[in-house]
Amino acid sequence: MTYPNSEETIKVIKDLVSIPSPSGNTNEVITWVENFLADLNVETKRNRKGGLIATIPGKDNDNHRMLTAHVDTLGAIVKEIKPSGRLKLDLIGGFRYNSIEGEYCQIETSSGKIFTGTILMHQTSVHVYQDAGKAERNQDNMEVRIDEKVHTADQVRELGIEVGDFVSFDPRVQVLPNGYIKSRHLDDKASVGILLQLIKQVATDKIELPYTTHFLISNNEEIGYGGNSNITPETVEYLAVDMGAMGDGQSTDEYTVSICVKDASGPYHYAFRKNLVELAKTNEIGYKLDIYPYYGSDASAAIRSGHDIVHGLIGPGIDSSHAFERTHISSIENTTKLIYHYLLSEMVE
């Protein structure tokens, strides 16, 4: 049995995290994925929301599967240009200002110009501000210092920067010799990389899938509605491939595939979950069962929107999610193996 090459998967993940794609501004990364699949002669189409759907015909065309992973990431948008020439931000996605303090960023204007900057506390210098360490990390206190000679709002506007421009964060991706991958936006570009490599193997090796299978690369998951549409009436099983959340009380780790039992939306389909566990056991795949208390997926969004589907959620374990993320190649491999066997398995009865 041959699985996709994990080193190639890591390369794809590096490419993906290096493309800025905050929710609302994802055309560049969707185009990258579109071109990747076009080279494999895999049929794709874009939905009106800007997501991408790839379809591989299967032996059974009456019952379909859908797998989804998302390329949109956390980010920000310019809320205000301050009189000082610095920028006030409004956040895109669920995270805290402290997780981006000191981060390098880029501002993309509506005309496509790119400017760089740094996200800082207004009261950063300890030589000037006595409360530099105590001040709250919030919208009023944090700002973007633009890497241009600007000291007024008018000077910023002369650059072409305006309210509504997207701000993305430097991923700072590193792949270490011991197998760790450190980067922002592993949620969920690690899973997108896994799906792309699996699609490549199916296409290259001409593997016949038992069911027609759709792969939705969604682009609005971080704001709650990436995968709640474009689900064919024939779709029976819907598997979201997203990250496994780590922390106190969690069983998820950086080395296995995490199978979600329940998140903030409620329990996932019991029989589907048991089928995934059985596949992991049968094929000696490292896995953990877990509950994510403050989490929602594209699968739960699909259920909430009224689709009559069997829904599940799995993914690689990601440490410090929505902040300084890290995983390990073994988690990527175990997630890949479980999806590979799932794609070839029979549906839940």
| 283, 275 contact by CB (below 8 A) | no
Q: Is 221 a catalytic residue?
A: yes
Q: What are phi and psi of 14, to 5 degrees?
A: -60, -45
Return the structure tokens found at 43: 């049929």
Return the structure tokens found at 121: 């506390």
DSSP 257-274: EEEEEEETTEEPPHHHHH
Buried b (16+ CB within 10 A) or exposed e, 225-260: bbbbbbbeeebbbbbbbbbbbbeeebebbbbbbbbb
- Find, among 220, 181, 175, the residue nearest to 73 by Cα: 220
Quick one: which H or E segment has residue 326? Answer: strand 326-328
Dist. CA 283–CA 272, nearest whole Å: 17
Dist. CA 326–CA 319, nearest whole Å: 5
- For residue 32, how many other CB atoms are within 10 A of its CB? 17
Q: Among residues 221, 222, 254, 333, which one is catalytic?
A: 221
| 81, 157 contact by CB (below 8 A) | yes
Task: Please identify every residue annotated as catalytic.
Answer: 221
